[in-house]
């Protein structure tokens, strides 16, 4: 299924696809006009502060084609392949040619290590062309002590952004940036509604483009384009396949989703950071800026990495109910282990609710390195279709 003609014909979607495909273009233009570009590694960097400072936040992403010449020297093999590939671009100089600063949030254990390694690299190998690094030491367990600590941490990050900007950032600037980010989240929720309503109008692949393009372009422009797509997509042809929810590894490109949706399945939601989780929670305009940022990022739906098993079970149950999924696809890359401890409990809970599951663990990266994946997902798709047809016949 992939991206359908109806989407490709839409000029706003074309623009989003252009930004999603040519990920450096907007950043390059932004820098050419004198702006600063901030690279983000980890999914919990508060865009509001960067946008408030007049800078452009962009995500660091993997390039599966790039040989890992530098990475293999520095990283132990236990680092997952996506992070390995991201690291290569950071240490081989590619990133520093595109961004002014790198911010790492401790969204997973792996990126914490990346921060420690880069900090040490700056100390012992200062000649390397590696961007300056700032770390956001979030605490994600939910209690008052950690909330207060996070407010302190975000205060430190604000100071860092101010030092890059060479000026202080006012509360009013942060609020304006928050309005921009909230508007974008709201626009993306309109897209989500078109995936999860009675009739599904937007495919998983199309949704990944619409959401993921936010990471590579100016946010207000993104919001405008998403709004136009949402208006048009309400009339796009209905997708009839079994509705599935995707949980597991971040999907930075369409290759996994394409293979899944090529079998006739329709991905109606996901809990990874290049999908629905990005716009899960708003910045609360009634709060003071630092407080609102902590509330927004600390209390988003649980990530697969920084949550307990019981929290993840409940979170997935909530996602599935919200999206009306009939089945869940678990998909994790090799060495991306944390979620695998959640899986048996999640599977049990879902199956008790009549939700089918299929598990693809220890997957090689990129997905093309798993030659049996299309056949296995096809078999799952056929099984689901037969079950649904059987149920309807009854």
Partner 1 sequence: MAEGASRSGVVKKLKATSIASAYQKEWFAGLKKRVEAGEDFGYLNADVPMEILRAMDIPFVVNQWWAAICGAKRMTRKYFGLLRDAGYRDDLCSYCATAFAESLDPDDHKVDAEGNPMGPWGGLPDPTLAITRLTCDCQSKIFELFARNHGASFYAIENTVPRKVPLKWFEMAPDDWEELYDTDRLDTAVEELKELIRFLEMKTGKMFDINELERVMNLINEQEGWYKKIRDLIASCHPVPVTVVDTINAVMQAQWQRGTEWAAGHAKGLYEEIKALADRGEAAVPNEKYRLMWIGRGIWHDFGFYQRFEQKYGAVFMWSMYLAMGADAYIRHHVEKDPLRALAARYIGMEDFLHMPPWNSQWYLQQARQNDIDGVVYMVPENCMQAVEGSYFIRKTLEDAGIPVLTFNADPVDPRKWSAETMTGLVEDFIEKRVIPMKEAREAR
User: In this chain, which of 117, 164, 300, 314 binds partner 1, going by CB under 8 A?
Assistant: 117
User: In this chain, which of 6, 68, 112, 299 binds partner 1, going by CB under 8 A?
Assistant: 112
- Nearest-angstrom CA–CA distance, 90 and 113: 14
Which tokens go with 391?
A: 């149920």
Q: Which of residues 319 and 330 has its CB atom nearest to partner 1 in the complex?
A: 330
CB under 8 Å to 181, separation ≥6 — which residues? 47, 48, 51, 219, 283
**Of 14-73, which residues contact partner 1 (CB under 8 A)?**
73
Q: Confirm or reject binding of residue 160 to partner 1 (CB under 8 A).
A: no
Q: Are the C-beta atoms of 103 and 134 separated by less than 8 Å? A: yes
Residue count at the site for partner 1 (CB under 8 A)? 45
Which range of residues in 137-145, 181-189, 218-226, 281-289 is near partner 1 by CB under 8 A? 137-145
Q: Confirm or reject binding of residue 383 to partner 1 (CB under 8 A).
A: no
Q: Are the C-beta atoms of 216 and 23 separated by less than 8 Å? A: yes
Which range of residues in 35-43, 233-241, 270-278, 342-350 is near partner 1 by CB under 8 A? 342-350
User: In this chain, which of 9, 11, 116, 288 binds partner 1, going by CB under 8 A?
Assistant: 116
Which region, left, alpha or beta, applies to residue 248 given φ > 0 means left and ψ of -120 to 50 means alpha? left
Which tokens go with 107?
A: 């969204």
CB 124 to partner 1: min, Å:
7
Going by the DSSP 8-state scheme, the letter that residue 279 receives in this structure is G
Which tokens go with 109?
A: 């254990």
Please tell me the total number of residues recorded for the chain in this structure.
Answer: 394
User: In this chain, which of 299, 338, 383, 388 binds partner 1, going by CB under 8 A?
Assistant: 338
User: In this chain, which of 5, 34, 65, 123 binds partner 1, going by CB under 8 A?
Assistant: 123
Q: Confirm or reject binding of residue 128 to partner 1 (CB under 8 A).
A: no
Question: 35 to each of 48, 50, 174, 184, 227, how far by Cα in Å?
Answer: 16, 12, 18, 21, 26
Q: Which of residues 61 and 74 has its CB atom nearest to partner 1 in the complex?
A: 74
Q: Are the C-beta atoms of 41 and 60 separated by less than 8 Å? A: yes
Q: Which of residues 4 and 334 has its CB atom nearest to partner 1 in the complex?
A: 334
Name the nearest CA neighbour of 281 among 266, 263, 299, 265: 299
User: In this chain, which of 1, 305, 315, 316 binds partner 1, going by CB under 8 A?
Assistant: 305
- Nearest-angstrom CA–CA distance, 238 and 249: 27
User: In this chain, which of 279, 343, 373, 380 binds partner 1, going by CB under 8 A?
Assistant: 343
Q: Are the C-beta atoms of 116 and 315 separated by less than 8 Å? A: no
CB 221 to partner 1: min, Å:
35
- Find tokens 């890992």 and name the residue: 68
Element (H, E) at 191: helix 171-196
Q: Confirm or reject binding of residue 341 to partner 1 (CB under 8 A).
A: yes
- Nearest-angstrom CA–CA distance, 65 and 366: 9
- Nearest-angstrom CA–CA distance, 251 and 319: 17
User: In this chain, which of 8, 11, 21, 109 binds partner 1, going by CB under 8 A?
Assistant: 109
Which tokens go with 367?
A: 């997905």
Mark residues 68-107: x for contact with partner 1 by CB under 8 A, - for none.
Answer: -----xxxxxxx--------------------------x-
Q: Confirm or reject binding of residue 139 to partner 1 (CB under 8 A).
A: yes
Q: Confirm or reject binding of residue 310 to partner 1 (CB under 8 A).
A: yes
Q: Which of residues 29 and 116 has its CB atom nearest to partner 1 in the complex?
A: 116
Residue numbers of the site for partner 1 (CB under 8 A)? 73-79, 106, 108-110, 112-113, 115-117, 119-120, 123-124, 135, 137, 139, 141, 143, 145-146, 149, 152, 305-306, 308-310, 337-338, 340-345, 347, 361-362
């Amino acid at each position: 299924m992939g991206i359908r003609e109806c989407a490709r014909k839409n000029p706003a979607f074309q623009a989003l696809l252009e930004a999603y495909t040519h990920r450096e273009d907007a950043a390059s233009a932004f820098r050419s006009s004198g702006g600063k570009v901030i690279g983000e590694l980890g999914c919990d960097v508060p865009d509001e502060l960067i946008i408030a400072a007049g800078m452009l936040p962009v995500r660091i992403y993997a390039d599966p084609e790039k040989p890992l010449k530098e990475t293999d020297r520095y990283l132990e093999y236990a680092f997952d392949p996506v992070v390995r590939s991201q690291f290569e671009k950071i240490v081989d100089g590619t990133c520093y040619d595109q961004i002014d600063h790198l911010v790492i949030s401790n969204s997973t254990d792996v990126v914490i290590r990346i921060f420690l390694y880069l900090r040490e690299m700056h100390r012992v190998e200062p000649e390397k062309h590696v961007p300056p690094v700032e770390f956001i030491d979030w605490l994600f367990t939910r209690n008052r002590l950690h909330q207060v600590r996070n407010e302190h941490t975000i205060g430190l990050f604000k100071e860092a952004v101010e030092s890059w900007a060479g000026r202080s950032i006012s509360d009013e600037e942060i609020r304006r940036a928050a309005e921009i980010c909230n508007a974008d989240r709201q626009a993306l929720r309109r897209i989500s509604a078109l995936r999860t309503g009675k009739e599904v109008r937007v495919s998983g692949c199309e949704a990944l483009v619409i959401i993921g393009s936010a990471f590579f372009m100016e946010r207000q422009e993104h919001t405008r384009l998403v709004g136009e797509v949402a208006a048009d997509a309400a009339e796009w042809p209905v997708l009839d396949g079994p509705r599935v929810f995707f949980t597991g590894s971040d999907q930075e490109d369409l290759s996994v989703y394409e293979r899944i949706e090529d079998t006739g399945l329709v991905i109606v939601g996901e809990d990874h950071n290049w999908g629905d989780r990005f716009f899960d929670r708003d910045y609360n305009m009634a709060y003071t800026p630092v407080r609102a940022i902590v509330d927004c990022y600390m209390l988003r739906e649980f990530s697969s990495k920084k949550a307990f098993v019981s929290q993840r079970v409940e979170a997935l149950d909530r996602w599935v109910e919200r999206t009306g999924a009939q089945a869940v696809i678990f998909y994790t890359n090799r060495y991306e282990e944390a979620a695998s401890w959640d899986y048996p409990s999640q599977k049990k809970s879902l199956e008790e609710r009549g939700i089918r599951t299929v598990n693809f663990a220890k997957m090689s990266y990129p997905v093309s390195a798993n030659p049996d994946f299309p056949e296995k997902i096809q078999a799952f798709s056929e099984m689901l279709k037969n079950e649904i047809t059987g149920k309807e016949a009854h």
